[in-house]
Structure 1
Amino acid sequence: VNIRIANALGISPATLKRYFRADMKERDAMRDRLDARRFEIALEQANAGNVTALRELGAMIDRNDRMTIEASMGKGSDQPAASKDKVGKKMIDEQRAHAADADLMAELESEAAAQNARH
C-alpha cells in the first residue's frame, strides 16, 4: 500500500516513511477502527439472525486471519525480505493449520446456513 501511495505522490517509499510517518500511523489506526466497526455491525446483524451477515462475518474473519498470517510471514509488507527474521517450519505449519481451521469453520458455517435456509 505504501508503494502505491508513494507512486501517487511521485516520491520514493523511503521518503514517504521519513516525512509522513505520523500520517501513515494515523491512517492505519483509522483503518483499524473502520474494520472494527464493520466487524461489530456484521456481528450484530448475524446475532439478529441475518444469514447473509453471518456469511460476511465469516468471510471477514477469514480475510483478517489471512492478513495476520501473511504479515507474520512477511508477505504484503513494504520492507525488503532480507531485513526480516526467518520464519521456521514449525511456525509456518502452525500458521497453515490455523488458516485451515478458519477455512473449515467458514465452510461448516456456510453449510449450516444453507441447511437452515432449506428448512
Structure 2
Amino acid sequence: MADVFDLFGDPVPPNWGERGRPQHVPTQQNRNRVSLLVALGWSAPRIAAALFVTAPTLRKHYFSELKFAQVARDRLVAQLGIKLLEGVNAGNVSAIREFQKYLERNDLMLYGQTVPQPRKQAADKPVKPAKIGKKAEEELAAHSPNEGTPLGELMARRQQGLNS
C-alpha cells in the first residue's frame, strides 16, 4: 500500500482507515522544507510546529536533514550559486548582475569583511523642525495672549501671576 497516493500526490500511510492515528509519511517536499528551515537557522521545535508534527516525529523522519545543520546554510548558498550560474550561461542579464553581487559577497566573506553599507547623508542635511497640526497650533496661540491689546495684556499679567 506504500505505492498508493492520495489526491494531492502524497503517499497513503500503511494503517490508513484503521484504528489509531495514521503514521506521518515524509515527502520530498517536506524534506526540502526542513532543509530550508534548518539552513535559515530555525530550531527543531519551531520546524516541527511549522510542519504540524511533534519534535520526536521530526527527529524520527527528518534526522538526515537535521544532521547537516552545520553545513545547511553553505549548501543553500551553493545551490543558489548554481542556479545563478545556469542563468548566466543562458545569457540572462539580470542573472549576470546578481551573480556579480554573489561573487562580491563571497569575496568579502573570504577576507572576513561584511557588505559595505551605503553612507547616510543625514549629517549633511539640516534638521527640519517638526510640523505641528492646525489644532495644536491654535491651542498654542490660545495659551499665548497678544500683549498688543488691552485684553491680551490683562491675560499676560494673570498668567505671570499664576506662574510665580
TM-score (norm 2): 0.27
Structure with greater proportional helix content: 1
> Which structure has the larger Rg over C-alpha atoms?
2
TM-score (norm 1): 0.37
Larger relative contact order, structure 1 or 2 (CA cutoff 8 Å, min sep 6):
1
